[in-house]
Every structure is written in C-alpha cells, then in structure tokens.
A = this chain, B = another copy of it.
Amino acid sequence: MLGSNSIGKEFVVTCFGESHGRCVGAVIDGCPAGLPLAVDDIQKELDKRLPKKEEIVSARREEDAVELLSGTYEGFTTGAPICVLVWNKEVISDDYDAIRHTPRPGHADYPARIKYLGFNDNRGGGRFSGRLTAAFVMAGAVAKKLLQLAGMEVLAYATEIGCVKMRAAPSLEDVKEKTYESSVRCPDLAVAQKMEEAILKAKSEGDSVGGIVECVALNVLPGVGEPLFDSLDAELAKILFSVPAVKGVEFGVGFEAARLKGSQNNDSYTMRDGEVEAITNNAGGVLGGLSSGLPIVVRVAVKPTPSIAKEQKTVDLLEMKDTTVQVKGRHDACIVPKAVPVVESSVAIILVDQLLRAGLMPKVLGVEAVGESSDATEEN
C-alpha cells in the first residue's frame, strides 16, 4: 500500500484532516492488542502542544478534546485499527480572501496550487498546516505507551531558539522535569527565558525565529533497524522531514562528523561490569542503520515560521504581476515549542514500528485474556 498519508510498516499511522476542515485525525493500524488505552492517555500528550504562555503562540485556541472512535474495548486495544481525532472548532476563515492568488513566501502555497490545480483546501494552509501535527501527537501517545511497557523512553527539547543556545548538554533529570515547565520546552530555564525574549522580540517586529530540537531515545536495545533501506536513521529522518518546517536532521555529532578523523569519531568499546559499553556516543546510537544500544540522539533544524506580519514581496497569480503580502491570521512567531512534542511523537512512532518489525515487541500484549467473551450474534 502506498498511501502517502501513512507512515510505518507494521505500526501504520494514517493522517487525515485539514487546518480549517472539520477535524484532524489519525488511524493507527497494527497496534498490538492488549494495551491499556484510555482517551486521557492521548489527551495528556496532545495537551503538550498547548503553550503555557499565550504571548508566545498563535491566538487560535482549540479545545482539542480527543475522541477515540475505534480500536479499543473495555479499556484495552483490540488489534483493530484505532481511529482518533480532534474537531476543529475555532476556525476563522474570513481573513483569507484578501490575499488569494498571492502565494505566501516560505509556504507550500505556490507548488501546491500547481500540483493540485487549485483544488487543494488552502484555508489556514490546509493539509500543509502545522495543525496536522496534532495527528502525529495522538498517534505518538499510543506509541509512547507501548515504549513505556518495553522500558524505553523518548524525550525531546529545544536546544536553540532565535540564536539563543544551550551551552551544555542538559542532564536527564532536567530534561524530564523542566522541559515542559518551560513555555519554550527548553530544560535550562535560564536559557528558556532568553529564548522567550527572542521570540517576543521577533513577534514585536512582525518577524519570526527558528531553532533546534534535540531528541533522545533511551534504553533502545542494540540491533533495531531494518537495513538496507529501512534502517533506523533513515526511517527516523523520513518522519522528521515530514514535520512541517524541518530543514535538517543529524544523528550524534552529525555534520561535525565530517570534520573529525576516524580515530576521533569512532566510538571505542570497553567492558564495564561485564557489559560491552561504548566509551563515547558520537554515532548518536546508530551504526550501519542499527541501534547500537546507546541512546539514540537526533537533532532537527526548524526554520522560522514563514507566516510573518512584515510585508513581503510576492506575485499576484491572476494578474501575473509583482505585489506584496502581509500575513494576517493567527500564527506562532516560533513553532519550535510546538515542534518538541511532535518530534518526540514522531520518534516514538518509528521506534514502535521498528521494534515490531524486528520481532522485539509482541503482536498481542498480556498472557491472559481480559475481556474474554464470545458474543452471541453478528449483525450485518
């Protein structure tokens, strides 16, 4: 099957919906049966997209109450596809008519118009909108529950926003405790404060800023990955480049590896307490497309939000002449904070898919049946 709105091969996530359509949702096919799953498990993750400080994000305020339409019974997944969605309620599409036919720089407007001959729904960016990432997060919530059972964990955080960078790698404790305490999802709260200021400054100038999201996956067994082409890093990169605004992906020391010598870059092995251990993790936990047993470390570059209030040059596609556009509507001056849970979810989705493919996660969880029952009738 090649549905281009699906990702994963055993844990298959299909996304649907548009920014200003009726809803945004996902169908998750291939989730093992027997996973305890309630709406709250998903709601909790989805709420991470909601900012703490209203100033730094879009004025669109969706309640985003998760609805679980299929795939669970008596509190457990059944092995049938899980359909989950949120309704779009706070849609204001009035702003848009003024600037039809003037593609916004940095957006998909122009190529999408050509690809779909104008049939695409472009209210609020349509299916190219960051709002679609709500579907990533809902599916990621299911993936994270599965990883938790397997003793694994995925943690993302902002390391750089608007040229404000964390100086040192954060401690795991800080990542776990402080990331979501910060409105910008940076575990160093002092740095986070400066990042916020950078965002607010850009916003006040009618501009926007980008940044870097780092993500670590802990306790991943060695040997996860399906070479030649479905290797762990290849699959992670694919989903991460599907997140709107991502322009770069690197593992471990990443681009810096190009400047090291082999003797510097190779992660040597040693024995510690009877276990094989690598002394460094320049590889970011991936060797030959397989997990090495060390933490997976991946970093993504997020571009500045293309929607800015400043006047920009563009063209009028009806009159075929130069013009300008000022993007009104409601938008974030920086989408890095929202990207953090999305990156986390994306990595979780791929990890579950790869664990299932490697035979390292069972297709049905739990030994004894819970909802054991054999019902009376089938209705047609």
A48 at the interface (CB under 8 A from B): no
Q: Kindly supply a per-residue 1/0 record for chain A positions 110-140, scoring 1 wherever the CB is within 8 Å of any chain B CB and 0 otherwise.
A: 1111111111111111111111110000000
A71 at the interface (CB under 8 A from B): yes
The smallest beta-carbon distance between A47 and chain B, in angstroms, is 15
Determine if A119 and B292 form an interchain contact, defined as CB atoms under 8 angstroms apart: no
Determine if B130 and A265 form an interchain contact, defined as CB atoms under 8 angstroms apart: no
List of B residues within 8 angstroms of A221 by Cβ? 114
The smallest beta-carbon distance between A82 and chain B, in angstroms, is 8
| Cα distance A315–B284 in the bound complex, in angstroms | 20
User: Which of B115, B266, B302, B374 contacts A100 (CB under 8 A)?
Assistant: B374
Determine if B17 and A29 form an interchain contact, defined as CB atoms under 8 angstroms apart: no
List of B residues within 8 angstroms of A288 by Cβ? 107-108, 111-112, 128, 244
Determine if A25 and B378 form an interchain contact, defined as CB atoms under 8 angstroms apart: no
Determine if A81 and B119 form an interchain contact, defined as CB atoms under 8 angstroms apart: no
Asked if A8 meets B1 with Cβ closer than 8 Å, knowing A290-B108, A307-B378, A331-B379, the reply is yes
List of B residues within 8 angstroms of A312 by Cβ? 263, 266, 268
Determine if B327 and A112 form an interchain contact, defined as CB atoms under 8 angstroms apart: no
Determine if B380 and A335 form an interchain contact, defined as CB atoms under 8 angstroms apart: yes
Determine if B6 and A374 form an interchain contact, defined as CB atoms under 8 angstroms apart: no
Closest chain B residue, CB of each to CB of A35: B119
Number of copies: 4
Asked if A81 meets B129 with Cβ closer than 8 Å, knowing A95-B376, A270-B315, the reply is no
A64 at the interface (CB under 8 A from B): no
Determine if B308 and A262 form an interchain contact, defined as CB atoms under 8 angstroms apart: yes
Determine if A373 and B96 form an interchain contact, defined as CB atoms under 8 angstroms apart: yes
Closest chain B residue, CB of each to CB of A94: B376
List of B residues within 8 angstroms of A82 by Cβ? 16
Asked if A58 meets B114 with Cβ closer than 8 Å, knowing A33-B119, A80-B126, A271-B321, the reply is no
- Which candidate, A147-155, A171-179, A187-195, A233-241, is the interface stretch facing chain B? A233-241
| Cα distance A210–B257 in the bound complex, in angstroms | 7
| Cα distance A288–B72 in the bound complex, in angstroms | 20
Determine if B30 and A4 form an interchain contact, defined as CB atoms under 8 angstroms apart: yes
User: Which of B131, B305, B377 contacts A327 (CB under 8 A)?
Assistant: B377
| Cα distance A80–B4 in the bound complex, in angstroms | 10
Asked if A271 meets B315 with Cβ closer than 8 Å, knowing A96-B373, A248-B249, A301-B257, the reply is yes
Determine if B375 and A125 form an interchain contact, defined as CB atoms under 8 angstroms apart: yes
User: Which of B210, B358, B374 contacts A102 (CB under 8 A)?
Assistant: B374
Asked if A306 meets B266 with Cβ closer than 8 Å, knowing A239-B229, A261-B208, the reply is yes
12 pairs, A vs B, C-beta closer than 8 Å: A6-B14, A73-B120, A78-B116, A107-B378, A109-B375, A110-B269, A112-B223, A160-B258, A237-B237, A237-B249, A266-B306, A359-B364
A-B CB proximity, top 3 nearest: A329-B377, A118-B369, A108-B288
